[in-house]
């Protein structure tokens, strides 16, 4: 009897150990991905598109998962599947875990010395690039890759490690450190204003304007605050950010630019500031920020952050 009792106990323990060892093998990963994708996208069709499989394949995975779990996950409302509340809780948990796995894999596969940053075109052309040689010479071990556009890319889940953005610094889920105060000035080449007297903002309507298409809302607010109807101005040329300063230097019209970019040309006389406006800068809450996610706070980024702070303090 004692032997039989021991035998049963040993079998039970052995089965328990085998169960724990086989937990990963038991997991129906493809079905769980399909289930989480339906929850994230809101429909079987959208989930199929996201996973790049057929509608029928996703439906089959969902049926298989219900069979495996021996639990009902959906109810039907007309032609739609509606996820049960307790199933939605499970799907939320799965999504969080899948994202954590994706982050771990991304950190594992990427070299810590590869640094992908995205910056606004103006910042890239007129602040970063003139100083970039010093960074590359001082840190040859870092493979720096720069993307220049005004898009607010997903820093937590996307390919970029950090961004320099222009805005109010309020991007949820990110660390944002102010780099430059964005005080704007109205400027033109001397040839543009040599025959025109410009003493007030209203006088600017006599001149052609170069408008930064990435900052049209801010420019519109500036016009409105100064009682100008820029929509009716017959001579406005809209250009990408990176070309606005170039066009102003070439004498194509008046431009509204961040002072930090215009300053060297104001000092050399290639541009002139058309009038002093102390009221507007106090209203402007948009500045340049270095932004990053905690998940991307790698050695290469920390080196870049220290360097950029030294450049600004020097």
pTM: 0.55
Tokens of 32: 């769980």
* Beta carbons of 247 and 173 less than 8 angstroms apart: no
Give ranges for CATH 3.40.190.10 in the chain: 114-182+287-313, 184-283
pLDDT per residue, tens digit, the chain (314 aa), is 444 444 444 434 343 434 444 567 778 889 999 999 999 998 888 989 998 999 889 889 999 988 888 989 988 887 788 899 999 999 999 998 988 888 777 666 666 678 999 998 888 888 898 899 999 999 998 989 999 888 888 888 888 999 999 888 889 999 999 998 777 888 999 999 888 888 777 787 788 888 888 777 777 777 777 777 665 566 778 888 778 889 999 999 998 888 888 888 999 999 999 876 545 554 566 788 999 998 888 888 999 999 999 998 86
Instruction: Determine which helix (DSSP H) or strand (DSSP E) holds 144, and give its type and residue range.
Output: strand 143-148
Question: What homologous superfamily is domain 114-182+287-313 in, according to CATH?
Answer: Periplasmic binding protein-like II (3.40.190.10)
* Beta carbons of 164 and 290 less than 8 angstroms apart: yes
Which residue from 294, 27, 261, 304 is spatially nearest to 126, judged by alpha carbons?
A: 261
Give ranges for CATH 1.10.10.10 in the chain: 2-109
Domain 184-283 classification at class level: alpha beta
* Beta carbons of 251 and 191 less than 8 angstroms apart: yes
**CATH 3.40.50.970 is the classification of domain 2-109:** no
């Amino acid at each position: 009897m004692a032997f039989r009792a021991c035998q049963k106990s040993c079998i039970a323990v052995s089965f328990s150990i085998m169960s724990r060892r086989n937990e990963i093998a038991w997991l129906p990963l493809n079905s769980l991905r399909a289930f989480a994708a339906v929850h994230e996208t809101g429909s079987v069709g959208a989930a199929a598109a996201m996973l790049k499989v057929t509608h029928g394949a996703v439906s089959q995975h969902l049926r298989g998962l219900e069979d495996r779990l021996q639990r009902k996950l959906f109810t039907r409302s007309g032609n739609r599947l509606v996820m049960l509340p307790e199933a939605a809780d499970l799907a939320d948990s799965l999504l969080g875990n899948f994202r954590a796995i994706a982050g771990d894999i991304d950190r594992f596969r990427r070299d810590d010395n590869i640094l992908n940053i995205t910056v606004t075109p103006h910042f890239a052309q007129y602040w970063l690039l003139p100083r970039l040689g010093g960074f590359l010479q001082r840190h040859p071990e870092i493979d720096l890759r720069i993307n220049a556009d005004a898009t607010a890319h997903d820093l937590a889940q996307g390919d970029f490690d950090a961004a320099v953005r222009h805005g109010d610094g309020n991007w949820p889920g990110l660390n944002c450190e102010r780099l430059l105060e964005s005080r704007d000035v109205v400027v033109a080449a001397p040839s543009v204003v040599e025959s025109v007297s410009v003493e007030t903002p209203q006088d600017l309507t006599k001149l052609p304007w170069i408008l930064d298409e990435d900052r049209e809302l801010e420019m519109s607010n500036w016009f409105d605050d100064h009682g100008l109807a820029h929509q009716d101005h017959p001579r406005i040329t809209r250009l990408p950010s990176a070309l606005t300063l170039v066009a102003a230097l070439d004498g194509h019209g008046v431009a509204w630019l961040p002072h930090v970019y215009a300053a060297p040309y104001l000092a050399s006389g290639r541009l002139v500031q058309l009038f002093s406006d102390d009221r507007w800068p106090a209203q402007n809450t948009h500045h340049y920020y270095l932004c990053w996610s905690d998940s991307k706070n790698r050695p290469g980024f920390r080196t870049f952050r220290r360097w950029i702070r030294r450049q600004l303090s020097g």
